[in-house]
């Protein structure tokens, strides 16, 4: 840090120039509309809203078909381009979403804005991740239950632009933090692979006579989904009732929700209370077939399906481990263009039911592995969370400068 401070004292003792993106960008436009039938597993990579993350590393898991001829070549993104998500379910999703491109040329969907520029791309990406930049990106409007951020609003975002040597030093420091996080993430992934191996072994019941096969509906006392209070109504949000959405269903125990609703919202919408220790399955779109357990009573939206397990037949954590192991198979049953599941599909899905004693033995083993990979109070997840908070603190500190007059 002392080296960086010496550079600041030498190169910009009177402060740093702050500029709006409009004065930095050589072009700033909305991405091309990419239709679902244009997506294939071969061809030019296509980045859509779901592939936008909060750092500058993009993982291409969707590609545009070589056969498509409708996209203008000028709309391709290249190394250094900055991408913003401009539509989403929440303002904070848009505020966090900014990346810069890797080395591979790609196309982007219509929910993304593209900024072309002649600056140092990694520095710009880091500067647009700061808390201050995210606040500026939060100026969005709600239309038809979707949050929208406009190109004119993005052009007004102001960031500091110190001399290039200072930008390079800041990037070097922040890259070190991200590399440490990447190492921890790699170790965590190895632990998850180990957990999945033992889970698949323990849940293999081929040829066993002491196991009954039943449907998820047969082992549940109740199966229900919820609803969404009208968006944009202040009297419905900001209360103290936990309200769960499908994007929060991530194969974890749920102790809280990102959004709270009011008693009026509960009364005026189709959402409903569900008791603790239910198995929750996401049923819509990209989140379909993901599962979780609610450790508190809460309400849910229509994209979540709640299974209240009959304790005389199955242990709810056994059911959770089984559904988690069946993620790919269950997801493949999705229907329609959004590959959605529904209550009927989930209720008819089969599960092996050994004795309660055997279920308890399996759960005791798998829970230990699960804790190693998901517990945010200890182990690798806790260390990764601590590193993330440390990174965010130093990122904001390093990218805060006195403004030049």
Which tens digit of pLDDT belongs to each residue from 292-302? 999 999 999 99
Q: Please give the pLDDT value at position 93.
A: 58
pLDDT interval class at 140 (50, 70, 90): low
pLDDT interval class at 308 (50, 70, 90): very high
Select 212-353's CATH number: 1.10.3720.10, 3.40.50.300, 3.30.360.10, 3.90.220.20: 3.90.220.20
205 Cβ contact list (under 8 Å, min separation 6): 211, 352, 354
Query: Do residues 308 and 218 touch, judged by C-beta distance below 8 A?
Result: no
Reading the block at residue 362, the tokens are 């399996």
23, 104, 115, 277, 401 from 155: Cα distances, Å: 8, 25, 9, 46, 21
Q: Please give the pLDDT value at position 47.
A: 74
Percentage above 90 pLDDT, the chain = 50
CA-CA distance, 78 to 67, in Å (whole number)? 20
**52: pLDDT strictly greater than 90:** no
**215: pLDDT strictly greater than 60:** yes
- Which residues are bridge partners to 204 per DSSP? none
Q: Please give the pLDDT value at position 92.
A: 58
Q: What is the mean pLDDT of residues 39-47?
A: 63
CA-CA distance, 405 to 305, in Å (whole number)? 57
Q: What is the mean pLDDT of residues 153-166?
A: 93
CA-CA distance, 34 to 152, in Å (whole number)? 23
CA-based nearest residue to 244, from 282, 199, 205: 282
pLDDT interval class at 69 (50, 70, 90): very low
The CATH T-level fold of domain 18-161 is Adenine-n6-DNA-methyltransferase TaqI; Chain A, domain 2 (3.90.220)
Phi-psi region of 5 (alpha: psi -120 to 50; beta: other; left: phi over 0): alpha
Higher pLDDT, 62 or 131: 131
Query: How do residues 219-269 score in pLDDT, each as one tens digit?
Result: 999 999 999 998 878 899 999 999 999 999 999 899 999 999 999 999 999
pLDDT interval class at 189 (50, 70, 90): confident
Q: Please give the pLDDT value at position 222.
A: 96
Q: What is the mean pLDDT of residues 33-52?
A: 62
pLDDT interval class at 389 (50, 70, 90): confident
**162: pLDDT strictly greater than 60:** yes
Higher pLDDT, 289 or 378: 289
pTM value is: 0.64
CA-CA distance, 299 to 257, in Å (whole number)? 10
Percentage above 70 pLDDT, the chain = 84
- DSSP tag of 55: S
Looking at 99-108, 130-139, 266-275, 279-288, which range is the least confident one? 99-108
**335: pLDDT strictly greater than 90:** no
Run of H or E including 394: helix 379-398
pLDDT interval class at 59 (50, 70, 90): very low
CA-based nearest residue to 107, from 134, 75, 69: 75
* Angle at 26 (CA atoms; ends 119, 31), nearest 5 degrees: 105
């Amino acid at each position: 840090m002392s080296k960086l401070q010496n550079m600041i004292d030498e190169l910009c003792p009177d402060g740093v120039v702050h500029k709006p993106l409009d004065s930095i960008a050589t072009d700033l436009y909305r991405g091309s509309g990419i239709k679902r039938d244009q997506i294939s597993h071969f061809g030019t990579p296509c980045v859509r809203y779901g592939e936008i993350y909060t750092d500058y590393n993009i993982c291409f898991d969707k590609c545009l078909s070589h056969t498509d001829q409708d996209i203008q070549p000028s709309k391709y993104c290249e190394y250094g381009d900055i991408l913003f998500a401009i539509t989403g379910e929440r303002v904070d999703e848009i505020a966090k979403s900014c990346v810069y491109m890797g080395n591979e040329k790609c196309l982007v969907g219509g929910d993304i804005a593209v900024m072309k520029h002649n600056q140092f791309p990694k520095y710009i990406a880091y500067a647009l991740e700061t808390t201050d930049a995210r606040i500026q990106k939060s100026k969005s409007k709600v239309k038809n239950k979707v949050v929208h951020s406009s190109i004119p609003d993005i052009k007004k975002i102001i960031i500091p632009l110190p001399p290039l040597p200072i930008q390079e030093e800041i990037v070097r420091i922040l890259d070190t933090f991200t590399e440490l996080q990447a190492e921890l993430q790699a170790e965590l992934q190895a632990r998850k692979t180990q957990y999945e191996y033992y889970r698949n072994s323990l849940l293999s019941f081929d040829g066993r006579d002491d196991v009954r096969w039943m449907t998820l509906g047969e082992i549940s006392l109740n199966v229900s989904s919820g609803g969404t209070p009208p968006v944009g109504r202040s009297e419905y949000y900001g209360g103290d009732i936990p309200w769960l959405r499908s994007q929060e269903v991530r194969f974890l125990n749920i102790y809280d929700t990102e959004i709270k609703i009011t008693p009026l919202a509960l009364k005026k919408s189709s959402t409903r209370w569900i008791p603790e220790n239910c198995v929750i399955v996401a049923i819509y779109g990209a989140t379909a077939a993901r599962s979780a357990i609610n450790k508190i009573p809460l309400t849910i939206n229509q994209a979540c399906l709640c299974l209240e397990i009959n304790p005389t037949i199955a242990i709810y954590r056994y059911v959770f481990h089984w559904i988690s192991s069946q993620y790919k198979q269950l997801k493949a049953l999705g229907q329609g263009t959004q590959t959605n599941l529904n209550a009927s599909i989930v209720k008819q899905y089969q599960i092996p039911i050994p004795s309660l004693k055997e279920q308890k033995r399996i759960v005791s083993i798998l829970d230990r592995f699960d804790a190693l990979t998901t517990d945010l109070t200890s182990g690798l997840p806790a260390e990764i969370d601590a590193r993330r908070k440390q990174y965010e603190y130093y990122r904001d500190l390093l990218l805060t400068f006195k403004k030049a007059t």
